[in-house]
Amino acid sequence: MARKTTAKKKPAARKTTAKRKTAKKTTTKSKEALYVASKVKSQIKTDGMNMAGDALEGLNNQIYWLIQQATERAALNGRKTVRSHDFLA
């Protein structure tokens, strides 16, 4: 008796629907976050307040500005080390 050999069928390829992801257009270049977002949100909640969606971005911009001011003050004082009192000015 001869056996019939049947070729194994390959499973049909799944049809994928291409989803277009539209990139958000931003006018300003995002800066790396210099804070822990969950800690900031937790502190705001602890103080009994709610937080708007743009609050963390505003905080981040403020942090970058403070660092810039402190580094400039240290440089004007002839130092390459930023100290705590450089942030107070």
**What are the pLDDT digits (tens) for 23-77?**
554 455 678 999 999 999 999 999 999 999 999 999 999 999 999 999 999 999 9
In a domain, 14, yes or no: no
Structure confidence at residue 26 (pLDDT): 46
Structure confidence at residue 87 (pLDDT): 94
- Structurally, the chain folds into a number of domains equal to 1
DSSP structural state of residue 35: S
Which of 43, 88, 50 is CA-nearest to residue 69? 88
In a domain, 85, yes or no: yes
In a domain, 24, yes or no: no
Question: Distance (Å, rounded) from C-alpha 79 to C-alpha 73?
Answer: 9
- In which domain, by residue range, is 89 found? 53-89
In a domain, 67, yes or no: yes
In a domain, 83, yes or no: yes
Q: What is the mean pLDDT of residues 80-84?
A: 97
In a domain, 82, yes or no: yes
In a domain, 75, yes or no: yes
pLDDT band at 8 (very low <50, low <70, confident <90, very high): low
